[in-house]
Amino acid sequence: MPPSDPKRARSKPPAAPWKPPSRARVLRVRDRLRDVYGIPLMRPHGHPIAELVLTVLSQSTNDRNRDVAFLRLRTRFPSWEAVRDAPVAEIEEAIRPGGISKVKSVRIQAILRAISDDPRRPISDRSPHGLSLDWLPRAPLLQARDYLVALPGVGRKTAACVLLFAYGLRDVPVDTHVSRVGARLHLLQGGAPLQRLHDQMLALTPPGQELELHVNLLRHGRRTCHARSPACSRCALARMCPSRALFR
C-alpha cells in the first residue's frame, strides 16, 4: 500500500546498518557494568556433563525449578552412567519439577549415549561403560566446540556454557538477556541468528573477560533492561544507549 504522505515517507532516514562496536565502546560499556555489578568471581567447576544436563533442565523453567530437578536427579542416581542406563520413566519422574520432563529426560539420555558412543573421543578417554569429557580442555578450542554442538539438541549457547563455566575456556553464552541487552546497546546485531550473535559476542569480548561480560549483561537484563518495559530512567547505561529513545 502506498504511504499516505509520500513526502514524509521519503524524508524518514533509513535505519543505520549495524556496525561492530569499537573496542573503546566495548570497554566503556564493560566499565559501566563493572561499576554497577562488580567483577563476577566464579571458578570453573570442571564438570562438563553436569553443565550439559543443567542446561537441558533450564529450558522453559526458572532457576529454582531447574536446581530442584537437578538435585533430585543427582540424589537418585549415583553416576551419569546410571542416568544414561536407567529406564527413561525414572529419569522423567526424577526431573519432573523442572517441567517438560518427558522431553528433557529423552534429551538427557540421548546426550549421555552420544558421549559414550562417539568414536571421535580420544582412545585414551574411552572405557566400555564410562562417561567422560575430560579430554575437552586439552583439545583445540574449535574442535571441542564442534564436538559439543554435534551432540543431540546442543547448540552454541550450551556449548559455550560448558566451555566457559566448566573450564574457563574462551566462549561467551548468548542467552535471551545477553542478546537483548547487547542488541539495545548496539554491541550485537538485533535479530541476527544465534550462531552469528555468538560470533559477534566472541569478537567483541576482550580475552579473559568472557565471564564478566556474560554475567554482567545478563544481570543488567534481569534487573533493569527488561524485555517488555526496560527501566531506562534508572539505567546506569542510559547515556550511552542508542535505544533509550525507543522506550520513552
Question: According to CB under 6 A, which one of 156, 184, 198, 219 is a site residue for ligand SF4?
Answer: 184
Shortest approach of ligand SF4 to residue 32 CB, angstroms? 10
C-alpha distances out from residue 121 to 88, 126, 133, 150, Å: 25, 7, 9, 13
Nearer to ligand SF4, 129 or 228 (CB): 228
Shortest approach of ligand SF4 to residue 26 CB, angstroms? 14
C-alpha distances out from residue 78 to 66, 67, 74, 143, Å: 19, 17, 7, 30
* 53: Cβ contacts below 8 Å, ≥ 6 apart: 70, 73, 80, 83, 108, 111
Burial call 208-230: b when 16+ CB within 10 Å, e when fewer: ebbbbbbbbbbbbbeebbeeeeb
Here's the x/- map for ligand SF4, 206-245, by CB under 6 A: it reads as ------------------xx----xxx--x-xx--x-xx-
Question: According to CB under 6 A, which one of 185, 187, 211, 213 is a site residue for ligand SF4?
Answer: 185
Nearer to ligand SF4, 108 or 237 (CB): 237
Given the rule CB under 6 A, which residues bind ligand SF4? 181, 184-185, 224-225, 230-232, 235, 237-238, 241, 243-244, 247
